[in-house]
């Protein structure tokens, strides 16, 4: 192998906005036959906004939002951004905890509150869109409907993957109808909903056992183990530090189509090396 070809490919990738952290990416990219995506923050913009609030009678909408914002303070999850405009109300939260792939919790005025997924707090819910729930020991006190728009280039990326013979999968911790809607809009081959970080890793192991070579793209804390478990992994530049540290390469500018460019460059380098 000529190290020069690799060096040239790596610098072309950097110029194109794909920062290679581990050199094996160049080898894996052209060989891969499946592309696995996280949903929130990866296929979607991660600019999560509040779309609606339902709350119990003994709570006002403002109180529900203030409690949610207080619980999310310090959270790096894209969902936390939906509540940020309602923060700084002076609500004190003790023992704040992040429950990866589920939500956040903390003690407010001596009472434990949780904010998170339907799977965690309201298992019977059948939401058509992305929703999170606010609950205390008495049960669910509010439901927040969230808008999480797709990235503009997500459909083009999925189409390009299929043209190049890559199968596609969405792996998401979300269990709502938004995941189904998005999967069918994009035409991805496979969807795994309600997937915990462990489920995500297990899925990749199943693919590997079936002889597949998987590329994985993610952004969140919850994606760190699965990024580390993929044959080659990519983190969105706007993602969490832990995702970026676990990934083999970083997509600058959060531009998904750069993955396809990276695959072409890596394939060309491989042809030169052979
Ligand atoms: P994804 O795999 O789509 O990126 P995650 O695994 O990060 O999603 O989260 C799964 C679900 O857990 C989210 O859809 C949400 O309902 C809930 N959740 C996770 N983190 C938070 C948080 N900080 N605040 C509220 N809900 C959260
Ligand atoms: Mg995510």
pLDDT at residue number 237? 87
Q: Are residues 160 and 67 in the same domain?
A: no
Q: Are residues 142 and 200 in the same domain?
A: no
Q: Are residues 177 and 248 in the same domain?
A: yes
**In whole angstroms, what is the distance from residue 61 CA to residue 77 CA?**
22
Q: What is the pLDDT of residues 116-172, one digit of tens each?
A: 999 999 999 999 999 999 999 999 999 999 999 999 999 999 999 999 999 999 999
From first CA to last CA, the distance across the chain in angstroms is 7
Q: Using DSSP bridges, classify how beta strands 34-38 and 214-218 pair: parallel, antiparallel or unpaired.
A: parallel
Ligand 1, atom 10: closest residue by C-alpha: 173
Mean pLDDT value across residues 17-36: 94
**Residues in contact with ligand 1 (CB, 6 Å cut-off):** 38-41, 72, 75, 77, 79-80, 101-104, 115-117, 132, 172-174, 220, 222
Give the domain range for residue 103: 49-147
Q: Are residues 176 and 259 in the same domain?
A: yes
Q: Are residues 249 and 158 in the same domain?
A: yes
Q: What ligand is nearest to the CA atom of residue 114?
A: 1
Q: Catalytic: which of 27, 38, 174, 241? A: 38
Q: Are residues 203 and 182 in the same domain?
A: yes
- Among 88, 122, 147, the domain boundary falls at 147
Q: Are residues 55 and 41 in the same domain?
A: no
In the chain, the percentage of residues whose pLDDT exceeds 70 is 99
- Among 111, 130, 147, the domain boundary falls at 147
Q: What ligand is nearest to the CA atom of residue 239?
A: 2
**In whole angstroms, what is the distance from residue 40 CA to residue 257 CA?**
17
- Among 147, 172, 196, the domain boundary falls at 147
Domain harbouring 19, CATH code:
3.40.50.1000
DSSP assignment letter at 150: B
What is the pTM assigned to this prediction? 0.90
Adjacent-strand bridge partners of 87: none
Mean pLDDT value across residues 219-232: 86
Q: Are residues 165 and 123 in the same domain?
A: no
How close is the Cα of 173 to the center of ligand 1, in Å? 6
The best mutation among 37, 96, 101 to test binding of ligand 1, ranked by most ligand atoms within 8 Å of the C-beta, falls on 101
Q: What is the pLDDT of residues 195-214, one digit of tens each?
A: 998 999 999 999 999 999 99
Q: Are residues 170 and 138 in the same domain?
A: no
Which ligand 1 atom minimizes the distance to the CA of 197? 6
Q: Are residues 155 and 268 in the same domain?
A: yes
Count of structural domains within the chain: 2
Q: Are residues 109 and 237 in the same domain?
A: no
Determine contact, residues 70/142, Cβ cutoff 8 Å: no
Buried/exposed 109-133: b ≥16 CB within 10 Å, e otherwise: eeeebbbbbbbbbbeeeebebbbbb
Question: What ipTM, to 2 d.p.?
Answer: 0.97
Domain harbouring 134, CATH code:
3.40.1110.10
How close is the Cα of 31 to the center of ligand 1, in Å? 32
Q: Are residues 78 and 173 in the same domain?
A: no
Residue 138 is among the residues annotated as catalytic for this protein = no
């Amino acid at each position: 192998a000529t190290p020069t070809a690799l060096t040239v490919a790596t610098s072309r990738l950097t110029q194109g906005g794909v920062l290679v952290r581990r050199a094996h990416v160049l080898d894996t990219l052209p060989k891969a036959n499946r592309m696995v995506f996280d949903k929130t923050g990866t296929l979607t913009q991660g600019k999560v906004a509040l779309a609606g609030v339902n709350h119990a009678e003994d709570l006002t909408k403002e109180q529900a939002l203030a409690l949610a914002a207080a619980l999310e303070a310090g959270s790096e999850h894209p969902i936390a951004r939906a509540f940020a405009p309602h923060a700084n109300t002076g609500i004190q939260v003790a023992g704040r905890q992040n429950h990866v792939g589920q939500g956040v919790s903390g003690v407010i005025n001596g009472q434990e509150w949780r904010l998170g997924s339907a799977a965690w707090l309201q298992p019977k819910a059948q939401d058509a869109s992305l929703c999170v729930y606010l609950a205390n020991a008495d049960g669910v006190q509010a439901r927040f409907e969230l808008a999480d728009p797709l990235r503009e280039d997500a459909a083009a990326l999925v189409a390009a993957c299929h043209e190049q013979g890559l199968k596609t999968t969405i792996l998401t911790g979300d269990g709502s109808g938004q995941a189904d809607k998005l999967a069918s809009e994009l035409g991805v081959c496979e969807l795994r909903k309600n997937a915990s970080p462990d489920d995500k890793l297990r899925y990749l192991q199943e693919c590997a056992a079936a002889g597949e070579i998987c590329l994985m793209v993610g952004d969140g804390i919850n994606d760190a183990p699965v990024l580390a478990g993929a044959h080659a992994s990519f983190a969105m530049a706007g993602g969490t530090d832990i995702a970026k540290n676990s990934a083999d390469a970083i997509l600058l500018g959060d531009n998904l189509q750069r993955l396809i460019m990276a695959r072409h460059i890596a394939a060309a380098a491989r042809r030169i090396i052979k």
